Amino acid sequence: MAGDIAAGKARAADSCVACHGPAGISILPHYPNLAGQKAEYLEKSLRAFRDGSRVDETMNAMAARLSDQDITDLAAYFASLR
Amino acid sequence: MAGDIAAGKARAADSCVACHGPAGISILPHYPNLAGQKAEYLEKSLRAFRDGSRVDETMNAMAARLSDQDITDLAAYFASLR
């Protein structure tokens, strides 16, 4: 499944950017930067947050709303940023 | 506790660089880049791997060997990279 960068950007605007920043550079020190991160790692992280194998109250709630396609698109989008 | 970038660099050479790359840009797609990541997030991640609250077979074993000072130094080092 190929990630759609434009779709990922639109999906990110909903919620991700509030903590991770509009360009994937996070605003607060305990949130990771996502810009330029490996797409495969981002996908793995989102799936782990969604299935609960990685525990973080905020991210578990966020990821619960994501489809497989959303995850692939978001990973492609953040990986595409500098 | 302030992180010592030089000490972190020396500690990273032991093992981190094998997967995360000599400049914090990882070699394989399922390993995250660490260069330029927020120090506080890196510390949080290493502590979670060490105490087992974040599960990853490789990282749990790696982090088990780290002292609090090692963690602070490693976080300072990878955060300092571009």
Tokens standing for residue B13: 């050479």
Q: Is the pLDDT of residue A1 over 90?
A: no
Host domain of residue B23:
5-80
Predicted pLDDT of residue B49: 97
Q: Is the pLDDT of residue A40 over 90?
A: yes
Question: Out of A33, A40, A54, whose CB is closest to B38?
Answer: A33
Q: Kindly state the percentage of chain A with pLDDT values over 70.
A: 99
Q: Kindly state the percentage of chain A with pLDDT values over 90.
A: 91
Tokens standing for residue A79: 């990986």
Pairwise CA distance, residues A60 & B7, whole Å:
35
* DSSP string covering B16-79: HHHHH-TTS--SSTTSPP-TT--HHHHHHHHHHHHHTSS--HHHHHHHHT--HHHHHHHHHHHH
Predicted pLDDT of residue A14: 80
Q: Using CB atoms within 10 Å of the CB of residue A70, give its burial: 0 to 12 exposed, 13 to 18 middle, 19+ buried.
A: buried
Predicted pLDDT of residue B55: 95
Confidence category of residue A13, pLDDT binned at 50, 70, 90: very high
A12 touches A25 (CB < 8 A): no
B31 touches B76 (CB < 8 A): no
| Number of folded domains that form chain B | 1
A39 touches A3 (CB < 8 A): yes
- pTM, to two decimals: 0.92
Predicted pLDDT of residue A27: 86
Check which CATH number belongs to the domain holding A67 and give it. Answer: 1.10.760.10
pLDDT tens, residue order, chain B (82 aa) = 689 999 999 999 988 999 999 999 998 999 999 999 999 999 999 999 999 999 999 999 999 999 999 999 999 999 999 8
Q: B31 to chain A: which residues are within 8 Å by CB?
A: 38, 41
Picking from B20, B38, B51, B81 by the largest number of A CB atoms within 10 A of its own CB, the best residue to mutate is B38
**A31/B38 CB distance under 8 A:** yes
Nearest CA to B37 out of A44, A53, A31 is that of A31
Please name the residue of chain B whose CA is at the shortest distance from the CA of residue A55: B54
Predicted pLDDT of residue B82: 86
Pairwise CA distance, residues A19 & B55, whole Å:
23
Pairwise CA distance, residues B21 & B24, whole Å:
5
